[in-house]
Chains A and B, each alone.
Chain A
Amino acid sequence: MIVAERKPIEEILPWLEGVRSVLVLGCNECVTVCEAGGKKEVGLLASALRMVFAQQGREVNVGERTLERQCDPEYLDELRDSIDAYDAVVSLACGVGIQFTAERYPSKAVYPGVNTCFMGAALERGVWAERCQGCGQCLLALTGAVCPVARCAKRLFNGPCGGSTAGKCEIGPDVECAWQRIIDRLKALGRLADYETLIPVKDWSKDRAGGPRKVVREDVRS
C-alpha cells in the first residue's frame, strides 16, 4: 500500500484562513489501511477543525466525505453534485489522490492533509515499513524477493558495502542490511550460487530518472 502520515493540524490551519466551508475528503484504500486518511481520520480532523473554528468565532461548514478511491475518475465524479458547496478541500488521500482531486475540480483549492511517505507494508499494527520504490524494472527474482533498491540505503546491486555489521546497515542500528537479508534468503532457498551472478547495470531511465512515467495498455484502453 501507499503509506502516509497525518499532517499536524497546525500545518493545515493557515491554509483555511478565510474559508467559509471546507470538505475533509478521505480515501477508502491505502490511507485507510495505514490509518492516515480513512473515514475515521476524516472524522477526527473535521472534529478538531470545528473546535478550532468555534473558538475563533468563525462559522465554517466542515463537511466529511470518504471516497472509494481518489485516484480513479469514476469515484471522484461522485463529488460533482456537492463540491460547489465548499470553498476548499483538505484531502487525506496520498499525493496521487490529492492531485487527482485537484485536477478533476480545477476551481477548488485542494490541500494535503497527509504526508505521503512510501510504498510499504504493515509490520504490525501501527508500524509500516518501506518495501518498493517503483523502479520500473523489478529485480526481485535475482535477490530472493528482497528489494535492494528500496531496502539498501545505497541501492547496491552486487552485495553489501563494508558497513554491514551483524545484519544491520551502517546508517543505523535499527536498519536491517538488505544484502544480509538477500544472502540469508538465497541460502535458505538453496540458491546461493545466484549471489555470484552479477546484476548488470540497471536501466534507471525506467525509474524516476527518466522523468514522470506513464503506463499505457492498448489492449484495455477505452
Chain B
Amino acid sequence: MRLGYPESVKIIRVPCTGKVDALHLLRCFERGADGVLVVGCREGDCHYQSGNFRARKRVGEVGALLERIGVGGGRVRMVNLSSSDAPLFVRAAREFHEAVLAAGPNPVGRRRRPEPAPARAGAPNPPPQEAIRP
C-alpha cells in the first residue's frame, strides 16, 4: 500500500504488547523519547488471550506517573488495531505524532543511558540492562 507515516516514528517489535513492561516504557522516556505509542492487537484478538489488555493497564499507569512527574501523561498512548490494517496504523501514528509535537520535546532531555549503579565486581544486581534502545 506504500502509505507513509511520520519519519520520526521508530518501530520496536515485541512478540506481544503483553511483553511491554512499565519499566520499558519509563526507560524510553528516561533516555529522551518524546512519545511512545503502544500498538496492540484488537481487543479479543490477542494470541496470548490478554496481553493487549495488560498492556493497556500498564500504559494507563505509566501515563499517570509521567503526568505526576512533569513529563506529561499524553506522551504514552495505546491503540488496538489489526496488523493487516495499515491505514488505521498510519492514522494512529499521525495523530500521535501531532499530539507529541504539540506537547513539545521531552523535558527530561536526551540522555544516553541511565546512571549505572555503582556495583561491586560480582555483585548480584548488575546495573539496569538495556532492554530497549529508543
* A-facing residues in B2-38 (Cβ within 8 Å): 21-23, 26-27, 29-30
Q: Nearest Cβ in chain A — how far from B116, in angstroms?
A: 9
What interface size band does chain A fall in?
Answer: 20 to 34
Q: Is the CB of A63 within 8 A of B118?
A: yes
Interface pair B26/A54, CB less than 8 Å apart: no
The answer to whether A44 touches B119, judged by C-beta atoms less than 8 angstroms apart, is: no
Asked if A196 is at the interface (CB within 8 A of a chain B CB), the reply is: no
Given contact pairs A52-B70, A61-B115, A62-B115, A43 touches B65 in the complex (Cβ within 8 A): no
Q: Which residues of chain B are within 8 angstroms of A52 by Cβ–Cβ distance?
A: 69-70
Cβ 8 A contact of B125, one of A9, A40, A64, A81: A64
Count of chain B residues with Cβ under 8 Å from any Cβ of A? 27
Contact of B117 among A44, A48, A54, A63 (CB under 8 A): A63
**Chain B residues within 8 Å of A54, by CB:** 30, 108-109, 111
The residues in A between 54 and 83 inclusive whose CB is less than 8 angstroms from any CB of B are 54-55, 61-66, 78, 81-82
A137 within 8 A of B: no
Chain A residues within CB distance 8 Å of chain B:
8-10, 23, 39-40, 43-44, 46-48, 50-52, 54-55, 61-66, 78, 81-82, 85
Contacts A55-B70, A81-B120 supplied; 14 other A-B pairs, CB < 8 Å: A39-B125, A43-B26, A43-B128, A47-B30, A50-B115, A51-B69, A55-B71, A63-B117, A63-B118, A64-B127, A65-B119, A65-B125, A82-B123, A85-B118
- 4 closest A-B pairs by CB: A63-B117, A47-B26, A54-B108, A85-B118
